[in-house]
Amino acid sequence: MPARIGLVLLLVLMLLGLILRLVIEPGGRLGLPGDGVIWGIRLDRAIAAIIVGVALGAAGVALQAMLRNPLASPDLLGMSAGAVLAVTLGRALGIGVPDGAAALVGAIGALGLVLLLGRRRGQIEPVTLILVGVALAIGLGSLASAVRALLPPSARPEGAWMFGTLSDGLTTPRLALAGAVAIAGVVWIAARGRGLDAAAMGEDEALSTGVPLRRLRLEMLLVAGGLTAVAVVLAGPIAFLGLVCPHLVRLVIGPRHGTLVIGAAMAGATLMLLSDSVVRVVPLETGRLPTGVVVAVLAAPALIVILRSQVSRPI
């Protein structure tokens, strides 16, 4: 399928997902809200879902290209868990650091640690990298839960946020800032599309075409960290989305990163909108189902398929 047609198809699906999220009522009924306040809350939540999906989809593209690893994503590399821990510690210490800044430091710090520990004989080894990332993600996530448990109730992050969920109390300035960061990240990655195409083929190929590989890696590290921070601040840790969306979009529009990042961003937004629509449909006496749980249920089968296709021999 030509890339332009694929992008149009993905855009249509995203718009349909947005419409569904705006008209879905509890229990699965369809209808527009008659109250302006409810309409505003529903619209803000839909915008937040789009921003989170765009950020994670684009971050997945940048990480997979930069590390030449099809399993690289913010959650499997510990970036989301690092961001959650940094936000939780920032609130626990009461030092007044904005959540976004803390999440950025946590995400980049976690990825730097994974890159350091995932090396063998000076080279990044793909399987080791992912194993270290998963182990670090589990450890950092557990530590964040422990820190939260030690905090007084008034200072604790919401329990649902720790599992990945969208908030109904997001302000317009916060959404505007997060949206600007997400759009800037997508534009930046798309502008480096040719360099990422060369880098994804190997270091020798990238250097032979004049790609400044070190600078490109640093840029992608910072951009992926910023995108992950945006997603974590708005919705907590959302698993699998940054991993699955780039792979699904490659089947539709091909591997060129200039268009792949745009497609993955729209696919991420669509998946978040659909997942949050499911949250509206499923009633719970204890509150809403975390959006991240629904995303994981929808995306986990795709992860299994990817893992089976990547493992060529038993360990």
174 found inside a domain: yes
> Tens digits of per-residue pLDDT, 49-62?
999 999 999 999 99
Q: What is the DSSP letter of 28?
A: G
Give me the pLDDT at residue 310, please: 56
Q: Is 176 within the bounds of a domain? A: yes
Is 120 contained in some domain?
yes
Average pLDDT for the chain: 86
Dihedral class, residue 277 (left if φ above 0, else alpha if ψ from -120 to 50, else beta): alpha
pLDDT reading at 313 higher than 60: no
For residue 1, the model assigns a pLDDT of 67
Specify the DSSP class assigned to residue 25: -
Pairing between β-strand 123-124 and β-strand 119-120 as defined by DSSP bridges: antiparallel
In a domain, 259, yes or no: yes
CA distances from 211 to 47, 110, 178, 188, 262 (A): 36, 26, 30, 16, 22
Which of 188-206 are b and which e, b meaning 16 or more Cβ less than 10 Å from the residue's Cβ? bbbebbebbbbbbeeeeeb
**Does residue 295 lie within any of the structural domains?**
yes
pLDDT at residue 287 tops 80 = no
Give the pLDDT band of residue 309 (cuts 50, 70, 90).
low
Residue 315 lies in a domain: no
Write down the pTM of the prediction: 0.90
Can you give the CATH number for the domain in which 82 is found? 1.10.3470.10
Smallest CA-to-CA distance from 105 within 133, 85, 75, 119 is with 85
Task: Report the pLDDT averaged over residues 115-142.
Answer: 85
312 SS3 class: coil
Asked whether the predicted pLDDT for residue 248 surpasses 80, the reply is yes
Residue 175 corresponds to which tokens in the numbers above?
Answer: 């959404």
- In this prediction, residue 8 has a pLDDT band, given cuts at 50, 70 and 90, of very high
Report the number of distinct structural domains present in the chain.
1
User: What residues make up the domain containing 261?
Assistant: 3-19+37-310
Would residue 42 count as lying in a domain? yes
Taking only the tens place, the pLDDT of each residue in 147-183 is 888 877 766 667 677 888 887 777 888 899 999 999 9
- Answer yes or no: is 26 within a domain: no
DSSP characters for 65-116?
HHHT-TT--TTTTTHHHHHHHHHHHHHHHT----HHHHHHHHHHHHHHHHHH
Q: Is the pLDDT of residue 311 over 60?
A: no
